[in-house]
Amino acid sequence: MADSGILFVVSAPAGCGKDTILNELFKKTDAAGYAVSATTRAPREGEENGVHYHFLSREEFMEKISQNEVLEYTEYCGNYYGTLKKSVDDLLSKGKDAVLKIEIEGAMNIRKQFPEACLVFILPPSWEVLETRLRNRGTETPEKIAERIKQAQTELSYAENYDYLIVNDALETAVDDLLSVFRAEKHKRSRCGKLLEQFK
């Protein structure tokens, strides 16, 4: 088993169900925790500050950047999103895996800073399914949906830079697939250095 907690990054275009998948994953394991991201966007209905995101004003977000409290950040659809150092450190210091749910630009920045991080990209079954899911949300205008689709096309071009690809066609299968990735990474030889020492 890995000697310490692992940093996992999960990315997906809007509408691919990454929130639902992660929520179900955390019901199946207590070895991982969600490193809550910060954002300047307004909360959606049902979202709680400190649970789904740390909701910050633009000024607060910029202040944290200037204080070197943000590991990475990006601007997405007019709002800032970023990873707070404290969110990650709090989990890893307890030996837990830290899960970041971030966009592709942030994921690439994390990869540069933490080459050992494991990156997972969640794909939709098809473009048609993705568009249907976005429309069924009922939370965005047709113009915003078109913007999301265009953004998704850009994001999918980066999927080849991730370590694992998971298709969210059936929720339960996608959750099990992600859990399998987490378990497999724990047993990578490069993460289990101390395990072999007893046999030398």
pLDDT reported for residue 127: 87
pLDDT for position 121? 97
For the chain, residues with pLDDT lower than 50 are none
Q: Which amino acid is at 75?
A: E
Judge contact between 21 and 123, C-beta under 8 A. Answer: no
Query: In the prediction, which pLDDT does 62 show?
Result: 95
- CA distance to 30, 55, 108, per residue, from 14 (Å): 26, 18, 18
- Predicted TM-score (pTM) of the model is 0.83
pLDDT computed for residue 1 by the predictor: 55
**In the prediction, which pLDDT does 143 show?**
85
Instruction: Please report the pLDDT score of residue 3 as a whole number.
Output: 62
Q: How many CB atoms lie within 10 A of CB 139?
A: 10
Q: Please give the pLDDT value at position 2.
A: 59
pLDDT the model gives residue 108: 92
For residue 173, the tally of other CB atoms under 10 A from its CB is 12
